[in-house]
Every structure is written in C-alpha cells, then in structure tokens.
Structure 1
C-alpha cells in the first residue's frame, strides 16, 4: 500500500504543531479561566467531525480540569442535544439553529464564552458554516467572548472572533484530516493549561 498520503499528513501536522501560536492558546485559556471564576457558561460547537471535537472538549473542561481549588467549569456542547438541534434546523432557518440552541444558556451581560471548531472557519460569502458565524454574532450580542479554532485562513469565524487559534493547513487531501487532528491537540492543550497539572 502506498503510504505517501499518510507521510504527507504526518509531516504537515508535525510542522503546524511546532508553529502553533502559543500566545493565542494562552489568551484562549485566560478567557476560559475568567468564565470559570465568574461561573459563566462555556458553549462549544462545530459541524461534522468538528462537532465531535467540540463535544470532547466540553467533556474534558468539565471533568479533566476538576479541582478542589477551583470552581467547576460549566460547559456544554450545543450539538450534543440532537433532538433540539434537528428541531431548530427543521423548523427555522438552519443558519440560526446554533444561535437558537445557545439562547437559553446565555443571558445578556453574563461572562460567557463560545469555543467554535471549524476546519474552514466559515465562508465569507455565507455559503458554508453560516450556523457557526451566526452563533458567533449571537454570543457577541449577549456580551460573551468567541474563541475560534480554525484551519485554512480562518474564514469568517476567525475574522470576528475575540481569540483566534489557526492551524494553517490549506492543501487537500491533507488539510482537513490534519486540521481536525491538530484541533484536538489544541483542545487538550487548553485543558492541560486550565487543569494546573504540571508534566512530570
């Protein structure tokens, strides 16, 4: 079997991991730490494979960072409620479904945040991942912060985020699996920072 593709994936992912923006990761952790201290809500979201990363991240925020010295994280992945998600997608404008899902959790003026995972970051012409772009706008409207974890050039979500962590792979067939893999590493890095655990 020809291993050229997986060699390219390995090498591309390794290169972007070495060059990850540590300042952006640290800034994202600071936003999340503020939400934790104020007992606000952290909402996570993504489409497709990124929705599973969002779900994994919310679970790790709640469990992995648990500490007797710190308040619990109150984190929720919006796409985990499949019934509610599909109801909004079916009964209303699908582009607004994520915002409707977020609405009960984000009272105006609260110190909340959304962490959005998206390979392309949403098309600037509104043709792709509009639901995440509209969610970001809604979060800002309530006074919350948006952390975007993207690939390619960051797209519309990267443009309007408060903190942007970008994995700049942009050549398929390596880009999508590479970006999604590194996004999970970013999620784990954030949880490690927020846990206060030190590598031995």
Structure 2
C-alpha cells in the first residue's frame, strides 16, 4: 500500500465513523449538551477526566468552556476543569493511593451534588475513570461517559453513555473531540444564544 492509500484510507474511515455517529448517536449527543447546559446554568461545574489522548481531549474541552469555544463568541468563563492537568496531584495520588484513584480523589475534593463528571475512555475499561464515575455518583453528581467499541466496563455506569461504534482508538478519539466541540456549541447556544 502506498502512502497516499494509507492517508486516503484513514480519511475515509474517519468520514464513515462520523456518518455512523450522526446516524446513531445524535439524540445522545444533544442530550449530553442539554445536561451540561443545565448543570452550568444552575451554577455547577463540569469535571473531565481521561488517560493518554483522552486526557488531552478532556483538557481541550475544559479549556473551550473556561475560555470560549468560537472566536468572537464573547461570554463569561464557565467552570470546567480537567482532572488530568495537575501533575503534582496525579503523581502524589499515584504514589500514595495508586493510579486507579487519581481522578476519584479529585472528584471527592472538587465535586459536589449537581456537578457533572464527563469521563473519556476509548476502551471503557480505564480503572481510574471507573473509580471517578463511582465517586461522582456517590456525591450526587451527574455522569456522562464518552466510550468506544462495546463500551467496556463503564457501559451503563454513567447516567448517559456515548459509545462510538468502532474499535480503533484513533477513530474513537476523533469522534470524542468532535462531540466535545458539539457540546460546547450547544452550551454556548443554550446559555448565551451564541451560534
């Protein structure tokens, strides 16, 4: 296979994945946007977590909310945080309690009833995202999972699952960031009438 074929195949796979997301997950995506909007409208906060590339996606989406999603959409900052961002907390918790607790410990510190946890896990089997979801539910937080494949062990744990119907990590992550951007668009429309 030549390099153009490799590139072309990935682009076509990505397009097909997004078509499948459009055909099968639109109601869940809109529902996630409405949940997140209501949480923020009520004065609560959104916490994000994920590992590896999903960690970066969690930080990316949180930044879009704190700063702004679309250039020119001037609005107040929204309370969102990525639990993957503080290296001191991550390393201290890993050392003292184990990596499985790095997000749940922060949920216990920052979360409160009415807040929202969005956990990203391409496999659905990330033990630290599972622990964070359990901790959030104990606190009375709302929970949404961005997953892939068959949803793994996280499937059914959160209030709402958005499961990308693919096994390839790259396609799942591309779709998760697209859905994160849609979430930001819905929030800006619902809270500020900014499109």
TM-score normalised over the length of structure 1:
0.86
Matching residue within 61, 64, 69 for 1:60: 64
1:126 aligned partner: none
Shift of 1:176: 1.1
2:17 aligned partner: 16
Provide the aligned length of Structure 1 versus Structure 2: 184
Say yes or no: does 1:51 pair with 2:58.
no
Shift of 1:67: 5.6
1:81 aligned partner: 86
Say yes or no: does 1:116 pair with 2:116.
no
After superposition, give the CA deviation of every residue in 1:63-104 in whole Å (9 maximum; x if it has no partner).
225765xx7421000010011111001111321221012211
Matching residue within 97, 117, 138 for 1:141: 138
Q: Supply the RMSD in Å over aligned alpha carbons.
A: 1.6
After superposition, give the CA deviation of every residue in 1:36-55 in whole Å (9 maximum; x if it has no partner).
01111210010001000000
Gaps of 5+ in 1: 123-128
Gaps of 5+ in 2: none
Shift of 1:19: 2.4
Shift of 1:145: 1.1
Shift of 1:167: 1.2
TM-score normalised over the length of structure 2:
0.88
Matching residue within 189, 194, 197 for 2:187: 194
Shift of 1:10: 1.7
Aligned partners of 1:85 and 1:101 also within 8 Å: no
Aligned partners of 2:17 and 2:171 also within 8 Å: no
1:25-40 mapped onto 2 (5 Å cutoff)? 25-40=29-44
Shift of 1:164: 1.2
Cα distance in 2 for partners of 1:72, 1:2 equals 43
2:172 aligned partner: 179
Cα distance in 1 for partners of 2:53, 2:42 equals 31
